[in-house]
Amino acid sequence: MPRSNENLAERLLEGDRRALARAISLVENDDPEGWELVRTIYPRTGHAAIVGFTGPPGVGKSTLMGALTKLERERERSVAVLSIDPSSPFTKGALLGDRIRLTDHFLDPGVFIRSMANRGALGGLSEAALQAALLMDASGRDLVLLETVGVGQAEVDIIDHADTVVLVLMPGSGDSIQALKAGVMEIPDIIVVNKADHPLTDTMIREIKGVLALGPKPDWPVPIIRAEAVRGEGVAEVADKLAEHRAYIESEGTLSERRRRNLLNEVLAIATYRMRRELEESVREDEEVRELLDRVVSRELDPASAAASILEREKAKG
Ligand SMILES: Nc1nc2c(ncn2[C@@H]2O[C@H](COP(=O)(O)OP(=O)(O)OP(=O)(O)O)[C@@H](O)[C@H]2O)c(=O)[nH]1
Ligand SMILES: [Mg+2]
């Protein structure tokens, strides 16, 4: 490993914020040094509590995370925030403060804030974000908060890497309730109904309870918390439930089970991406593959049989 990198790893492990920022940039910019760094520090990860916040745009995720960060800082826990923004690769930097709404914390060395929109090296934003989260974890942060916009679409499933998933909704987010009901969205660990000054809050909570009641009785009953993040209302309750959930997953062995499952998915995601890329490369120039495709187009050969032949050929090559 280059000396500079060794140094970077060392500083990162000591908790140096600039080293952390640099390391994340390496990962985000597809720099091989970035993966090498992750390889080096990986044995030192696994200590941070990783909490994912998801929910429709504008419900108040960032505001809630900002308020939670404030509270955790009062308890002297260090925090890293990663906001994953698949929709706008252009907001990096300029609108960061606005998107993340953690401007109060920019000067606090106990808080590290970063947003990410690039796909990174390993195939997806989710993979790049996981690498970033690992770096944050290795740098000794007690708490890593991930933010992603979503109503259950699989595009960005970084949330899969969280130990605890918080779904943030606001009165009127009917789509999310439908998504939960239809099983498009996995049942989160904690649900926050934010902007609870809205007159439809009670209706919303009733609907959520209705949906949750359809499922089997869980060992962890999903708490539904009403909050007004802008005013700090309900934030302490969110912090308490996070701690409770943590204790629950630790005591039941669920944490290691969950991490095992998440890491397996991660390994498969990276391997799948790499295989696909290799396959695409090796078939692009291949005359026989082109003929195979022509036969699919002319309806002589069905797509599944063509795929099977391609795989056979690849195996023979390997
Ligand atoms: N009335 C009210 N407004 C709130 C509350 N919490 C947040 N807001 C406002 O809602 C708007 C969106 O808040 P954000 O925290 O940026 O929401 P977000 O979910 O992070 O949004 P995206 O990251 O863009 O998806 C902001 O103008 C907040 O000030 C609340 O409890 N009540
Ligand atoms: Mg936000």
Ligand 1 site-directed mutation target among 230, 233, 237, 238, most atoms within 8 Å of CB: 230
Q: What local confidence, expressed as pLDDT, does residue 89 receive? A: 46
Q: Which atom, in ligand 1's list, is nearest to the CA of 194?
A: 31
Distance CA 143, CA 165 (A): 13
Does ligand 1 come within 6 angstroms of the Cβ of 105?
Answer: no
Q: What local confidence, expressed as pLDDT, does residue 3 receive? A: 62
Task: State pTM to two decimals.
Answer: 0.86
Does ligand 1 come within 6 angstroms of the Cβ of 99?
Answer: yes
Q: Is 120 left (phi over 0), alpha (psi -120 to 50) or beta?
A: left
Q: What are the two backbone dihedrals, phi and then psi, of residue 247, each rounded to the nearest 5 degrees?
A: -60, -40
Does ligand 1 come within 6 angstroms of the Cβ of 226?
Answer: no
Query: Among all ligands shown, which has an atom nearest to the Cα of 54?
Result: 1
**CB 19, CB 12: distance < 8 Å:** yes
Q: Which atom, in ligand 1's list, is nearest to the CA of 85?
A: 23
- Nearby residues for ligand 2 (ion, Cβ within 5 Å): 61-62
173: burial class by Cβ within 10 Å (0-12, 13-18, 19+)? buried
Does ligand 1 come within 6 angstroms of the Cβ of 109?
Answer: no
Which residue lies with its CA nearest to atom 2 of ligand 1?
Answer: 195
Q: What local confidence, expressed as pLDDT, does residue 119 receive? A: 58
Query: pLDDT tens track of the chain, all 318 residues?
Result: 556 677 999 999 999 999 999 999 998 887 889 989 999 999 999 999 999 999 888 899 999 999 999 999 999 999 999 988 765 544 444 344 445 555 667 678 899 999 887 555 455 677 788 889 999 999 999 999 999 876 555 445 667 789 999 999 999 887 888 888 887 778 899 999 999 999 999 999 999 999 999 888 888 999 999 999 999 999 999 999 999 999 999 987 888 888 898 888 888 888 888 888 888 888 888 888 889 999 999 999 999 999 999 989 888 877
Q: What local confidence, expressed as pLDDT, does residue 173 receive? A: 82
Would you state the structure tokens that stand for residue 292, as one six-digit string?
């195979």
Give me ligand 2 centre to Cα 198, in Å. 20
Give me ligand 1 centre to Cα 230, in Å. 8
DSSP state of 56: S
Does ligand 1 come within 6 angstroms of the Cβ of 121?
Answer: no
Which residue lies with its CA nearest to atom 29 of ligand 1?
Answer: 230
Does ligand 1 come within 6 angstroms of the Cβ of 229?
Answer: yes
Does ligand 1 come within 6 angstroms of the Cβ of 198?
Answer: no
Q: What local confidence, expressed as pLDDT, does residue 154 receive? A: 43
Residues 6+ apart with CB under 8 A from 8: 19, 22, 23, 37
Element (H, E) at 16: none
Distance CA 295, CA 284 (A): 16
